[in-house]
Structure 1
Amino acid sequence: MSNCSPCSITRIEYDGGRHPILLDDLRNARRGKGWTQKALADRSGVSEQAIYRLERGIGSVATLNAAMTALEFRLTGIGPGKTLAEQLRARRLKRGIALDALAVRTGLTRKTISNIERGGGSIASLMRLMEALAPKAKRRAPERAYWGQGDKEDRDSRFTPPEFMNNIYAAFGTVDIDPCAHRLSPVVAKRRILLDEGGDGLIDDWSGRLAFVNPPFSAQLKWLQRAHEQWRVGNVEAVVCLVPARTDSVWFHDTLTADADICLLQGRVRFLDTKGGSQPTPFSLMLVALGTTAQQKAAWNGLVDGLWLARR
């Protein structure tokens, strides 16, 4: 990009080249979630190499859009639209700039600009377009004030606090496997299945005596079904799941209530976030236990307030 006009967006020196601060912010957003490049690639539906190149200013607008969607990364100072390409087109139309005039201003062809406005093109060309149309564009601050229904990643990047886990260990014993583990989670387990290492607890077999599951809440039903399946086939002797108290699915009523012991917890648990802070859940929680004993349930009753539901 050394042949384009000077950019009024702040630049950074990185890997021997000059790239807009947008890409630096994108990389920081990934790291802020505790994701590796592979984890972002998996969530974006692209290759790890594509993310590596993206963070160095190389690649396609399609890759950038996919990464921005996975990270819930948005910009302000452009215009309305669901994608960056749509925002730039809205910006051009609002300013009344014809494609031919913008082509002269940016040094890009009319065809290239049209392609970018449809979500295609290269990152290098996109940045030149942004320099001309939205030089003051910047990252929109992430909204993390509450666990809203639309704030998927916020709900999924929360970790069971150590004091709660101490009650789990005391009542049910040592955790042999954490199938939906996170590197920042304080859960102590003999084996952890980590997404950023290529593992997937929804696919990989579980093992051991006790599994503890604090799953991504946006995929709660999938994880409960997986826990039930792994317990039923005998891969683990017992499973304890900490999940929101959602009881509306047919599977919950027809299958889970027949096989699991379910404890409705009193009060709210203060979950940890990726930055070390804590916040209580805005919803009630329940403990779903498969294969646990009456003695273990009694031990839990002595540690945590709650109500065990009668087995169907």
Structure 2
Amino acid sequence: MDIGLAIRRTRKSVGLTQDKVATLAGVSRQAVVLLEQGGGLMSTLAKVGPQIGFRIIGLANGDNPAAQVQAARRRRKMTQQDAAFRAGVSVPTMRAVERGTASMAALTSVLTVLSPKAREAIPAQAHWQVKRDVRFTPPEVVEWVLASFGPIALDPAGDPRCFVPAERVLTQADDGLATLWSGRMAFVNPPFSDLTRWIGRCCDAWDRQEVEMIVGLFPARTETTTFRERVFGIADVLLMPRRLSFYDEHRTKMAPAPFALMVCVWGAERDRVLDFAARTGALVLWATDGAKTKVGGLDCGMEPLCAA
């Protein structure tokens, strides 16, 4: 796997320049250039990867290369010493790879041993350029959101042709990933090809209190680092019971989505979440104590996954 070339392809597929990625990731442009040449550090990849949606597949589940390497090694019942010997690196270097502190060159050597066929996830095209990414929220979902959570102040991933009656709509030109959000509630049904960055943007908006409540409709990618570290336990997560049929750019109903969906809610009172669950038949995974107190919502302790 030419990991540098893979990173470059993924960046270009989401329409970002090296300068923009550097700004989003908080690294220098030279660090991004070095990554795309197959050099640099895994710690830089950990910052850049989520900004462009870069994932390695064919190794182990997840989107954290260090954790994937460790899981793949253990699955193959190899010790760190065995893996290091086969990869031609030292044992301390192998340990550094599994901590995410090694060089990209070391990661490449280890990947060659653990998964010769590892590759990047198929690059998605820029999120506003592909018809398959025009998935308007079904009208019934919009009705459920309005009934349970109230008026929608902001649609940061909006399109004037969609069914969402938001007071403020941010379109492609407005760039909801970079523009400041505002209002009581934001409803987010983002381009799924850029899912990692959009979920991260929701988390950032909540952390910065740009809005009082966020309701996001996403594919149920619960294995990702972003979900596990920034969504789980912080937002209430509702797992939808059935696949939804989105609408295309002509407002024509499409075939049911080939993936499960979840609704993530930041900042809503418990009764509102329960009302939405009752309307949809969703299963609820509650946020932990204190996660929702920023906006005055009711404290919700962690409970078992339960039918609402």
TM-score computed with the length of structure 2 as normaliser = 0.51
How many residues are aligned here?
167
Aligned position for 2:118: none
- Counterpart of 1:201, as a letter, is G
CA contact (8 A) 2:157 2:189 kept: yes
Aligned position for 1:271: 246
- Shift of residue 278, structure 1, vs aligned partner: 1.3
Match of 2:195 among 220, 223, 240: 220
Correspondence list, 1:44-59, <5 A: none
Aligned position for 1:281: 257
Residues 108-143 of structure 1 show CA distances to partners (whole Å, capped at 9, x for unaligned) of xxxxxxxxxxxxxxxxxxxxxxxxxxxxxxxxxxxx
CA contact (8 A) 2:235 2:286 kept: no
Correspondence list, 1:47-86, <5 A: none
| Structure 1 stretches of 4+ moved >4 Å | 42-45, 149-152
1:178 aligns with 2:155: yes
TM-score computed with the length of structure 1 as normaliser = 0.50
Match of 1:295 among 258, 267, 271: 271
- Shift of residue 44, structure 1, vs aligned partner: 10
Aligned position for 1:238: 213
Residues 159-184 of structure 1 show CA distances to partners (whole Å, capped at 9, x for unaligned) of 00212100100000000000010121
- Give SS of 1:258's match: coil
1:187 aligns with 2:170: no
Whole-angstrom CA distance in 2 between matches of 1:249 and 1:150 = 17
- Counterpart of 1:186, as a letter, is F
Q: Work out the percentage of aligned pairs sharing the same amino acid.
A: 34
Whole-angstrom CA distance in 2 between matches of 1:285 and 1:224 = 14
CA contact (8 A) 2:238 2:277 kept: no
- Shift of residue 43, structure 1, vs aligned partner: 5.8
Aligned position for 1:167: 144
Aligned position for 1:256: 231
- Shift of residue 251, structure 1, vs aligned partner: 2.3
Aligned position for 1:305: 281
Correspondence list, 1:107-186, <5 A: 153-186=130-163
Aligned position for 1:247: 222
CA contact (8 A) 1:155 1:216 kept: no
Structure 1: runs of 5+ lacking an equivalent: 1-41, 46-148
- Shift of residue 215, structure 1, vs aligned partner: 0.2
1:205 aligns with 2:180: yes
- Give SS of 2:264's match: strand
Residues 278-297 of structure 1 show CA distances to partners (whole Å, capped at 9, x for unaligned) of 12111110001111110101
Structure 2: runs of 5+ lacking an equivalent: 1-13, 18-121, 289-308
- Shift of residue 150, structure 1, vs aligned partner: 7.1
Residues 8-37 of structure 1 show CA distances to partners (whole Å, capped at 9, x for unaligned) of xxxxxxxxxxxxxxxxxxxxxxxxxxxxxx
Sort the Cα spacing of 1:273 and 1:209 in 2 relative to 1 into closer, same or farther, 3 A.
same
Whole-angstrom CA distance in 2 between matches of 1:255 and 1:230 = 12
- Give SS of 2:148's match: helix
- Shift of residue 275, structure 1, vs aligned partner: 2.4
- Give SS of 1:204's match: coil
- Shift of residue 255, structure 1, vs aligned partner: 2.1
- Give SS of 1:222's match: helix
- Give SS of 2:157's match: strand
- Give SS of 1:289's match: strand
Whole-angstrom CA distance in 2 between matches of 1:310 and 1:230 = 20
Structure with higher Rg: it is 1
Residues 252-282 of structure 1 show CA distances to partners (whole Å, capped at 9, x for unaligned) of 1122112111000001111000123212111
- Counterpart of 2:278, as a letter, is G
Whole-angstrom CA distance in 2 between matches of 1:234 and 1:184 = 28
- Shift of residue 200, structure 1, vs aligned partner: 0.6
CA contact (8 A) 2:162 2:251 kept: no
Greater share of residues in strand: 1
Q: CA RMSD in A?
A: 2.2
